Amino acid sequence: MNASETTTAQPFVRRTRKVFYHPNGKGTGSALQLELHPAHEDTEGSVFLTMAPQRTIGMRTADDTVHPTFDWRNAVCLKLDLMDLAQILQVLRGVQESLADGKGLFHRSSNASAIIKFEHRIEPVPGYLLDVSKKPLTGDLMRVSFFFRPAEAFACALMIEQALVYVAFGIPTVIPRMRPAPIAVPAAPVADGADIAMAEAVSA
């Protein structure tokens, strides 16, 4: 690089979202997004859970690939707080087999109500099934399911475990510590000429 060339530092952008895609050939798959919202000031942190049903199947040919798509416009979105995440983590860690003994978590807001069910499955395929039903005050019931494979569930458990710190305390910042001012030590008095002469006379 020449001395005349200058570089501009790019701002660091945090990645706060993770998306899992599970399309299938029947068009009954789904996608799931987790978005971290750290706590700040007087606002509690959370993780936003968004689940979208599969919209198109997609197609692969020798010349081109058309990827499946998901209906994010009609997705189900829920806000998970610290205790919601802790209970989901209990299932992922094997402390519980399901949320609230299979009853699920109930959410109510000013415009909708929802039930979140999450359970460990052994058969026919091992994994974890997340099922969310949401009923707006004015509108039809929306329901989306997502099946976590064991490796996905393991990764999700680690993500939630790490996210709990930010949901509870926010993003840590370095607060500079104020150093106390040094104590001023008085300087020793400097003897003048008369003092020196008197000292010599006494010593003589």
Note the pLDDT of residue 110: 87
Asked whether residue 103 is assigned to any structural domain, the reply reads: yes
Tell me the whole-structure pTM to 2 decimals: 0.76
What's the domain count of the chain? Answer: 1
133 touches 114 (CB < 8 A): yes
- Whether residue 87 is contained in a domain is answered as yes
Q: How far apart are CA 144 and CA 72, in angstroms?
A: 12
Per the structure, the complete domain to which residue 86 belongs is given by 17-169
* 141 assigned to some structural domain: yes
Q: Is 71 within the bounds of a domain?
A: yes
**CATH code at position 38:** 2.30.31.10
180 located within any domain = no
Dist. CA 190–CA 120, nearest whole Å:
85
pLDDT along the chain (204 residues), means of 10: 55 78 95 95 94 92 87 95 97 96 93 96 95 92 96 97 95 75 68 58 57
